Amino acid sequence: MPRPKSSKPPPPERATVWSEELDGAYRTHGAWLVAFLARRFGREVAEDLAQETFVRLARAPLDWRTPKSVLARTALNVAQDHLRREGAQQRPRLVSDGGVTEGVTHPDQIETILHRQVVALLPRNLRDVYVLSRFGGMTYDEIATHAGISVKAVEKRMTKALKLCVARFRA
């Protein structure tokens, strides 16, 4: 496995420093990390995720007493970011981009309309959290900061919103 390279240079304030500790972790645990990620996300993306993991680790000094746990946690965070970006590209759009042919109804359109109606019926506090999470791509921490509430409140509202959506979809 070649040494990870970033496709774009890091910002000047957070320069990448390839330390001896990171080099040692890469040589010792690089193959293990790829296998760890491949079991969870498939071989196709495992090497890219592993590379991004080492690039991310090169940006901050770390405590290397437990290198596998540091690598695993960072890799899972990288994978979560990857899945979030990938999911955002595949989500149905709530606003038409004008590319739909007049008079043609696609199955996805019906689901999107139904989804939009169900979301519109949610109480405002639940709807805001749901929309920011599902369509805004925000994390619970980001939503909590944005809404001025606790992360626990965001979790409770999201749980209630999801239960209501499922109940209304089944009705």
The top-scoring range by mean pLDDT among 67-71, 98-102, 158-162 is 158-162
**Distance between CA atoms of 21 and 16, rounded to whole angstroms?**
14
Region 60-76 average pLDDT:
76
Structure tokens at 101: 């042919």
**Signed CA dihedral, 102, 103, 107, 111: sign only:** positive
pTM of the model: 0.41
Counting Cβ atoms within 10 Å, is residue 64 exposed (0-12), middle (13-18) or buried (19+)? middle
> What confidence score (pLDDT) does residue 64 get?
65
pLDDT in tens, 113-148: 888 888 888 999 999 999 888 888 889 999 999 889
The top-scoring range by mean pLDDT among 46-50, 100-104, 130-134, 157-161 is 157-161
- Tell which phi-psi region holds residue 98, choosing left (phi > 0), alpha (psi between -120 and 50) or beta: left
DSSP 8-state code for residue 57 = H
Residue with tokens 């959506």: 165
Higher pLDDT, 28 or 66: 28
**Distance between CA atoms of 108 and 114, rounded to whole angstroms?**
10
Write down all domains in the chain, each with its CATH number in brackets.
12-90 (no CATH), 107-170 (1.10.10.10)
Region 90-106 average pLDDT:
53
* DSSP code string of 63-96: -TTSHHHHHHHHHHHHHHHHHHHHHHHHSPPSS-
Average pLDDT of the residues of the chain? 77
What is the identity of the amino acid at 13? E
> What confidence score (pLDDT) does residue 136 get?
82
